[in-house]
Amino acid sequence: MADPETVRVARTIDWILVALFVAASVLFISLLLDLPPRATIFPWFVSVTMVLVAVVYSAGNLRNPARWDDKPAESGDDDETSAAAVGIAALKGRGREIFRMFAAVYILGGAIMLVGHLVAVPLFILAYVLYRRESWVLALGGAVVFFVLIQLVFIEGMDIVFPEPMLLRWFGG
């Protein structure tokens, strides 16, 4: 059996990650509600799959939480190794990185709701690439490529009508 503190931390991390995945799925689904059905098949599939995986994983954790504490069967040495200990070692020092990753997803989703896909996605690409300390040329190039991709492929090519941004609704645009 692993150290009780390690197990507690690992289970806390599990539940936080499950909650973040469910919240991301809810955000994605709320963004899909105003889109035409033909444009939402893949996003609905991904969002529903995320929720199902979170539910099944949570049910497994609730039904048999000790399964993560057991020593692996194939371990031949005398060291006690558990999924919790391995998980803690892999995540050690990466809490901020994981938080920033989920924060970026939620910020992008919120920006899409406020200003729309055509503005939010290129701005997000620009900001993210600059945040990662890449060159301005790469950041601007990526933003322009995504703007053109959304405009030509989705709006003109596939004739998808994206939901009206909330700022336009609020300010009567």
For residue 51, the model assigns a pLDDT of: 73
Cα–Cα distance for residue pair 166/153, rounded to 1 Å: 23
Report which DSSP code applies to 65: G
- Over its length of 173 residues, how does the chain's per-residue pLDDT go in tens digits? 556 776 677 777 777 777 877 787 777 777 777 777 666 666 676 677 777 777 777 776 677 666 555 544 454 554 555 666 666 666 666 777 777 778 888 888 889 889 988 899 899 989 988 888 888 998 899 899 889 988 887 778 777 777 788 888 888 76
For residue 140, the model assigns a pLDDT of: 93
pTM: 0.51
Q: Is the dihedral of CA 160, 42, 102, 29 positive or negative?
A: positive
Domain coordinates in residue numbering, the chain: 1-92, 94-173
Residue that is written with structure tokens 């406020």 in the block: 114
For residue 168, the model assigns a pLDDT of: 82
